[in-house]
Amino acid sequence: MDTPKLTIRPTDLATTEHLQAAGIHPLLARLWAARGVKRQEDVQLDWPAMLAPNTLTQAEQAARLLADAIHSGQRMLIVADYDCDGATACAVAMRALTDMGAIVDFLVPNRFETGYGLSPAVVELACQHHAGRPDLLITVDNGIASVEGVDAANAQGIGVIVTDHHLPGDQLPNALAIVNPNQPGCTFPSKNLAGVGVIFYLMLALRAELRTRGHFPANGGPRLDALADLVALGTVADVVKLDANNRLLVTRGLERMRRGLMQPGIRALFAVASRDPQAASAFDLGFALGPRINAAGRLSDMGLGIRCLISNDDMQALELARELDTINRERRQIESVMKEQALAATESVQDGPLGASVCVFHPEWHQGVVGLVASRLKEKFFRPTLAFAPAGDDELRGSGRSIPDVHLRDVLDLVSKRHPGLIRKFGGHAMAAGLTLGREDFDRFAPAFDLAVTELTGRTSFEPLIETDGSLEVGYANAHVANILEQQVWGAGFTAPLFLDEFQVRSQKLVGEKHLKLSVQRGHQRFDAIWFNHTDRLPEFVKIAYRLDQNTWNGVVAVQLVIEYAQGI
């Protein structure tokens, strides 16, 4: 990858002063203002500040349909997606609907057999479900593109309620109701709800509907805030933009985890990941718990992950979490081998400078892991990247990851227009996409993809940027401030603070054979620092982009700098 350019995020001084005057910590005020926070109300993260469920288009209509189904004893079947967002959304629906008296079970498609979403094949499986033929299908985290699947269900006399957050296509499915903030005409203020957030909102609307019917007393019914841990996990794991409403949902979920109030499956996942729920953070959800749920959908059956999340038995949940941990270890091993093969393949075909993109295929790769390989290669080369694996029937299934400069779905759309029939299926958004090719078409597709990237961007190379928050004030470089920052919710669209300062390296050594451990000094302050997965020694004087972290050793809590990038000065 080219040498990154270090930049400093602009600071809104007036807003910073306004937030400080409202009693917000001066450093948080500066960081929040730089991330678009304008008023103190934008960081009110208690339940009363949550956007109202009745503002989500068709939520009340769907709630009435569900209430009718509960009262008439109809059999419901939840059709889930096979990632962490889909699994947590399914668990929220299963728990809430069961508590509200529904007859409900779930079905999660196998990504290798029936593909994504409510397809006609999935409808056939639903009709043969072990819990009995359903009267009503409820999609979670999918369905907005399932035009044919909904038609197939309707032909079988099965109604469908779609809950989803993905962008719709030109045609909407003929469902009884569609709850999706991104559907045409929906005025819900947050377009960034994850799939789990959408179904959580629908469950709130359903409880309100059942209260009006006298099914529950006023303010009665199940405590749906008890599901906030699931909502937080799915929201962070799906990397949706953490706008104010999503930050509220994640904050409330983390708060319950820190108090020990969580589903047995969530507690078990913390245990197998060797993480402390009392110090739960968005980082834990995105990089420890989420991958263990996702691994089941990538290599095995996401039903395992869902059963872990809906179990009420601590021992059973722990057994399932251990299975998920084992699968995740296998996933990491497969991914590591595939990444090395991909790097070798990429470097072997590059006799000169890299092109505008990276496109790799290996006949022995696992299609459940190609997205992770694409992500790693994208990080290394800072170019839009596609990785392909065999998918049977002489097809290749590819997964892509992109960079801010390149809208990946638009590139694939251009290829499909320039070369009709070359891409058999594709879908996605700006930063990630999936597609299917004929096996014999890869050699023709790769240069067409590279040319389309160049045509849309006018560039054949891209400069990686590392955006920082500038220098950290000397008085805030301590463990107390590190704890304050760790208590906040950072993530997609609300990135964690990254500071930029000059240091003198006083000592450095390798630990674990792959991490650089340092002692660095700025002025009269000396810090421990670590650069994970970096083995090259640094010069004496360096500019470092770093995160503040707390390091506990023998009961003593001290500040540590986690290095993201460093360069000599």
Question: How much is the pLDDT for 476?
Answer: 96
Question: How much is the pLDDT for 68?
Answer: 98
User: CB 98: neighbour CB atoms within 10 A?
Assistant: 14
Alpha-carbon radius of gyration of the chain: 25
Question: How much is the pLDDT for 454?
Answer: 95
User: CB 63: neighbour CB atoms within 10 A?
Assistant: 26
Question: How much is the pLDDT for 174?
Answer: 98
Nearest to 232 by CA among 263, 187, 210: 263
Q: Give me the DSSP letters along 200-232.
A: HHHHHHHHHHHHHTTSS-TT-S--GGGGHHHHH
Question: Can you point out the beta strands (E) in 300-384?
Answer: 358-361
Q: How many whole angstroms separate alpha carbon 230 and alpha carbon 51?
A: 18
Question: How much is the pLDDT for 205?
Answer: 98
Q: How many whole angstroms separate alpha carbon 518 and alpha carbon 545?
A: 14
**Structural contact between residues 196 and 89, judged by C-beta atoms closer than 8 angstroms:** yes
- pTM, two decimal places: 0.89
Question: How much is the pLDDT for 301?
Answer: 82
Question: How much is the pLDDT for 383?
Answer: 92
Question: How much is the pLDDT for 351?
Answer: 46
Question: How much is the pLDDT for 169?
Answer: 81
Question: How much is the pLDDT for 346?
Answer: 64
Residues found in the chain: 569
Q: Which two tokens stand for residue 473?
A: 């004030």
Q: What are the tens digits of pLDDT across the range 26-53?
A: 999 999 999 999 988 888 899 999 999 9
CA of residue 544 relative to chain centroid, distance? 28
Ranges of the chain with pLDDT below 50 = 349, 351-352
Q: How many whole angstroms separate alpha carbon 445 and alpha carbon 85?
A: 31
Q: What are the tens digits of pLDDT across the range 354-399?
A: 789 999 999 988 888 888 889 888 988 899 999 999 988 889 999 9
Q: Which two tokens stand for residue 320?
A: 């399932």
Question: How much is the pLDDT for 347?
Answer: 67
**Structural contact between residues 410 and 400, judged by C-beta atoms closer than 8 angstroms:** no
